[in-house]
Amino acid sequence: MTSDPTDAIATRVKIERERRNWSLSELAERSGVSKAMISKIERSEASPTATVLGRLSGAFGLQLSTLMALAEQAGLRESAAQIRSPSGKILKRATHGACCRR
């Protein structure tokens, strides 16, 4: 996983919520995490604590380790599809599926 997994976690939380057709409000109710915090997490504006990740993964019916592993896999695919400058700025993104074509 990259040194800052915030984007990968954001993507995975949103995927899991949308996979279940849940609104932000429904996930908030099921997890006990505020709608505002979930929104910030999904937009990569906040890095969730372990407690918050535990609540979200519990609402999804996933082990915390499973949620993190899924986020890591997504983060690795995203990294493989980008060319970054030494400062970390994204210079070029591969076209959809380019990193995985055979």
pLDDT digits (tens, 9 = 90+) for 37-53: 999 999 999 999 999 99
CATH no. for 6-100: 1.10.260.40
Domain positions in the chain are 6-100
Kindly list the distances between the CA atom of residue 15 and the CA atoms of 10, 21, 102, in Å, as whole numbers in the listed order: 9, 10, 26
> Residue 73 above 90 pLDDT?
no
- Of all residues in the chain, what percent carry a pLDDT higher than 90? 60
* Number of helices (H), then strands (E), in the chain: 5, 2
Provide the whole-model pTM: 0.70
| pLDDT for the residue numbered 100 | 45
- Of all residues in the chain, what percent carry a pLDDT higher than 70? 68
Contact 1, 8 (CB under 8 A): yes
